[in-house]
Amino acid sequence: MTRKIDCGEYIHWISDVLEKRTELLLAKGGLTLSQLMVIESFRHSKDGYQTVQDIQNALHVAQPTASGLVK
């Protein structure tokens, strides 16, 4: 008997696959997905300036995590 998979499960599976592929590609360049997200937050800022609080808000992470990514 075949189990029905709902739309949410497909979305979750697709998200996981894309995240893993992205992480593998970034690892070849010595970056993590989180580091790329920090770079993107700088790229999208008006003046190229971001505080740790700005990064925290953009990435939805705690202050220690944001600080660790910036170091």
16-65 pLDDT per residue, tens: 999 999 999 999 999 998 889 888 888 888 888 888 999 899 889 999 98
What ranges do the domains of the chain cover?
A: 30-71
Residue among 34, 7, 8, 40 at smallest CA distance from 22 = 34
For 38, residues 6+ apart whose C-beta sits below 8 A from its C-beta are 55, 59, 69, 70
Residue among 29, 24, 54, 28 at smallest CA distance from 42 = 54
Instruction: Indicate yes or no: pTM above 0.85.
Output: no
pLDDT above 80 (res 15): yes
Q: What is the pLDDT of residue 22?
A: 94
Q: Is 18 in contact with 33 (CB distance < 8 Å)? A: no
Per the model's pLDDT, the better-predicted residue between 18 and 66 turns out to be 18
